[in-house]
Structure 1
């Protein structure tokens, strides 16, 4: 993750005039990338292709250009076999542009690079990428179906911190979204499970959701790595019960891979072996408020 000599030199001369000049060169898609990275920290190249480009070649060309101008930064870890794809973050200039847009002080380039280094070594990096990947998949599905003439969209996507602020720290969802199909909205909390926690701990998260007030009593979606682990979680719930007033559904990444992803008919509700689409889960109709 050591910057090139050119990057280091440009970062050391970062001034308001440099930021203003780069701001004038940004395209609407560049601004979208900065906003996404500001909110969600990091994405892989493949995730950014889905979010903003649609073509790997176009994505690589533009991302590399923005990297060369210190607007974006990137890292990847060595592993065998093959090469890990780049993980992209805000670079010093990009972070300064975001700060300027909020009226905040311009961050020091060294501090921005330190943040990227800590993220690259964070034990929660895979969890963050998986959570972002869930919402990226929904965004990609919405784009594809909208192009085909269907009114589907991800109307809201909150990160973990925004969720904690909205719930008063009663729960710690990994994300929150609102999935809209036609005139019907399905708001949800997301719990991303990578199979690293005991199932009792996963199931125990429902206690906090039961304490949420009616304004935030959205369905809780558990996304698990395998259908086998998903079945074990349902078996645990059948023995322990589910807190009153909490709606739940589960999906499994390995099953969803061949069945339309998280938007598809991959969701199981307790006591019901049938799988339904995300749009079929409990929601609101005809523009009824989902955050009133």
Structure 2
């Protein structure tokens, strides 16, 4: 491990931090986050794999091949632990954690959540703007005082605006009443944490049904609730674009144009 410290580039360290915080990212996601070129990404990732700094897995998939999912390898995990002053993990323990992640039923949800933030980062690289904060589920829950369990939290900055938000990623596996029920927890947050709640949905049909449900049940006071869909967003600028349908309002707005529904208390962001 000591020898690897002299061979790691700043980008390598950035990759280790990303995988430490967000558990796993696909090859394409890492291209958007750190490389910009698939060829460069493959070359460097395979080098780090051969040195046990990174590890990877994928499932059988036909037709074609599933993209590799990258994680920390034993040496990479040891480097991060040493930097924090923690006990160095056993290589077998790191491999076991990767195996558990590969078989986790929540893996698709994790990749979808990470993909949302990766899309914002990719948009910033090409069109401007900046994702100034990206919290994982654990960090987001801590920021809410465990009153609610967001899938993520971010701050999108562009054009002199900084828009904090909570993210809920929906894969269509829960009932709409359960999805809408999550808003009760967000309504209990203090005004400085009353960020817009974004629902990232799989289809426009699911989105329309959710808004019908919200029209019937109402949106809690003090909350801005907005939705967008995976199958519509790529054609309209991705999650940074004018893809957000605010509950109770016509049309769609960009992420930067979302505003809180609270009492004007300054945002943390």
Whole-Å separation in 1 of the counterparts to 2:40 and 2:254: 32
- Is the aligned partner of 1:274 residue 2:251? yes
Q: CA deviation at 1:222?
A: 0.4
> Given the superposition, is the C-alpha separation of residues 114 and 279 from structure 1 closer, same or farther in structure 2, using an over 3 Å criterion?
same
- Is the aligned partner of 1:134 residue 2:111? no
Q: CA deviation at 1:289?
A: 6.3
Matched residue, 1:112: 94
Whole-Å separation in 2 of the counterparts to 1:48 and 1:230: 29
TM-score normalised by structure 2 residue count: 0.96
Whole-Å separation in 1 of the counterparts to 2:214 and 2:89: 47
**Deviations 1:237-279 (Å, cap 9, x if unpaired)?**
0001111111111001111121111011100011223011101
**Deviations 1:113-148 (Å, cap 9, x if unpaired)?**
0000000000000000000000000000011123xx
Matched residue, 1:180: 157
- Is the aligned partner of 1:192 residue 2:169? yes
1:48-197 equivalences under 5 Å are 48-146=30-128, 152-197=129-174
Q: CA deviation at 1:100?
A: 1.0
What's the secondary structure of 1:51's corresponding residue?
helix
Whole-Å separation in 2 of the counterparts to 1:281 and 1:61: 40
Aligned residues: CA RMSD: 1.2
Runs of 4+ that moved beyond 2 A: 288-292
Count of aligned pairs: 265
What's the secondary structure of 1:222's corresponding residue?
strand
Q: Aligned match of 2:5 in 13, 20, 23?
A: 23
Structure 1 unaligned regions, length at least 5 = 1-18, 147-151
> Given the superposition, is the C-alpha separation of residues 289 and 270 from structure 1 closer, same or farther in structure 2, using an over 3 Å criterion?
closer
Whole-Å separation in 1 of the counterparts to 2:133 and 2:14: 15
Matched residue, 1:46: 28
Is residue 224–residue 247 contact of structure 2 (8 Å, CA) maintained in 1?
A: no
Structure 2 unaligned regions, length at least 5 = none
- Is the aligned partner of 1:244 residue 2:226? no
